[in-house]
Every structure is written in C-alpha cells, then in structure tokens.
Amino acid sequence: MADSPVRPSMSHSYHCRIYVTLRPSVLDPAGTAVQSGLQQLGYDSVSQVRIGKYIELTLEAPDEATASQQLDTMCDQLLANTVIENYCFEITALEGAVTP
Amino acid sequence: MADSPVRPSMSHSYHCRIYVTLRPSVLDPAGTAVQSGLQQLGYDSVSQVRIGKYIELTLEAPDEATASQQLDTMCDQLLANTVIENYCFEITALEGAVTP
C-alpha cells in the first residue's frame, strides 16, 4: 500500500467545525464596533454582539473519539488562545469517506 | 410605559449565532497558514482548513420570523461581504425573556 506511515491503516474522514469565542470576561472592541454599526443602521434592538472565529477543517482519523481528542489538542496548541478564548467543536463523519 | 418608540410593544429576546464563511471559490491564505501550522505540529491528516467569522448577538423582535428577516438584512448590509462570503445563522428564543 502507498499510504503514508503516519496515516492509520483504516481511517475515516470527519468534517469538523470549531467555534472560538472570547471568554465572557474579556472585552470585545470589534463586537462593540459592529454593534454600534448595526445601531447606526437602525437596528436598535441588537445587543451583546461578540465576534469569534469559525474554523472548518477535514480530519482523517480511525474513529470519532480519536478525531475529537486530536481536535482538542489542536485547539489548545494553536487554534485558540485559552487564556482569553473558549472553544467548542462539532464533528461529522463524511459519508462514504473510508480510506482503506 | 417607558419603552422606546422603535421597540415593538411585545418583544421576545433571541440569541443569534451567525456564521460567515468565505465562498468556496475564494482563496483563504489564513486557512492555508493555519493548516501549515497544524501540519508542522504533526497533524498531517488535516486538510481543507477554512477560517470564517462567528458572531453572536441578542436581538429583540416580536417573533422569530421577524428576527430572521432582520438578521438576513443585517448580514447583507454589514456582517458579511456577500461578494466573497456566504453566511448562515441560527436563532434560539431566550426562555422567559418576554419584554412587555
């Protein structure tokens, strides 16, 4: 087989959606600016605007538990700054995407 | 009553989550950089990294249909650049948040 040595011998593809948000105690100047912009456009009933990041990626892993564990480490190491940000994610198996 | 004249006489609070993503045909250099970073950390099985925005806000509206319509206009006018970005949103009614 021509698989890379680091790839598991039987892996599934997962579509992952990661949401990175500022912790509630951290000020969000961008959110405040957007809220002000919306209110200037006439949307007076908008409040508590917070802006975060939304990251989509495809991950190959032997099973969903492993994918979840890897994503968690990725978020801790690179995708989120856990001092000021929280993160959560959703994992969806891509149908018919088994790599033998 | 001391309500603002622009506020509907009976309004509900809705928690709105808006996802703004680059259109698939638009290059995403930030996503490519993050993918490269993840691969340098040893996550070789990551691909198709795309970075978007995740916006949370609270909206007061008489009903969910009106909230949805207002959000749609907000996204078109300010929150997303529809030339290069797509958006979608979810609306959740905040329980017990009826403003008479």
List chain A pLDDT tens, one digit each, 100 residues: 444 444 445 889 999 999 999 999 999 999 999 999 999 999 999 999 999 999 999 999 999 999 999 999 999 999 999 999 999 999 999 976 555 4
Residue contact A78–B19, C-beta within 8 A: no
B51 neighbourhood in chain A, CB within 8 Å: 53-55
Q: What is the pLDDT of residue B78?
A: 96
Of the candidates A53, A66, A72, the residue with the CA atom closest to the CA atom of residue B56: A53
CATH 3.30.1280.10, domain B11-25+52-99, yes or no? yes
Of the candidates A86, A75, A88, A87, the residue with the CA atom closest to the CA atom of residue A25: A86
Looking at the complex, does the CB of residue B40 fall below 8 Å from at least one CB of chain A? no
A56 neighbourhood in chain B, CB within 8 Å: 21, 48-50, 52
Nearest-by-Cβ selection for A45 from B60, B77, B79: B60
Residue spans per domain, chain B: 11-25+52-99
In DSSP terms, A21 is beta-bridged to A86
Half-sphere exposure of A24 toward its Cβ, with a 13 Å CA cutoff?
2
**How far from chain centre, in Å, is Cα A41?**
30
Q: What is the pLDDT of residue B8?
A: 47
Q: For residues A51 and B54, is the Cβ–Cβ distance under 8 A?
A: yes
Which of B20, B34, B44, B45 best tests the A interface by mutation, with the highest count of A CBs <10 A?
A: B45
Q: Which residue of A has its CA nearest to B19?
A: A54
* Pair of tokens at residue A47: 């409040």
Write the burial class of residue B95 (CB in 10 Å: 0-12 exposed, 13-18 middle, 19+ buried). exposed
Cα–Cα distances in Å, from B82 out to B75, B85, B88? Answer: 8, 5, 11
Q: For residues B11 and B61, is the Cβ–Cβ distance under 8 A?
A: yes
Q: What is the pLDDT of residue A3?
A: 46
- What does each of the 100 residues of chain B score in pLDDT, given as a tens digit? 444 444 445 889 999 999 999 999 999 999 999 999 999 999 999 999 999 999 999 999 999 999 999 999 999 999 999 999 999 999 999 976 555 4
Q: For residues B75 and B87, is the Cβ–Cβ distance under 8 A?
A: yes
Q: What is the pLDDT of residue A38?
A: 96
pLDDT in tens, A28-37: 999 999 999 9
Q: What is the pLDDT of residue B30?
A: 96
- Give the number of residues written for chain B: 100
Matching residue, tokens 């509907």: B8
Give the whole-angstrom CA distance, residue B60 versus residue A33.
19
CATH no., domain A11-99: 3.30.1280.10
Q: What is the pLDDT of residue B2?
A: 45
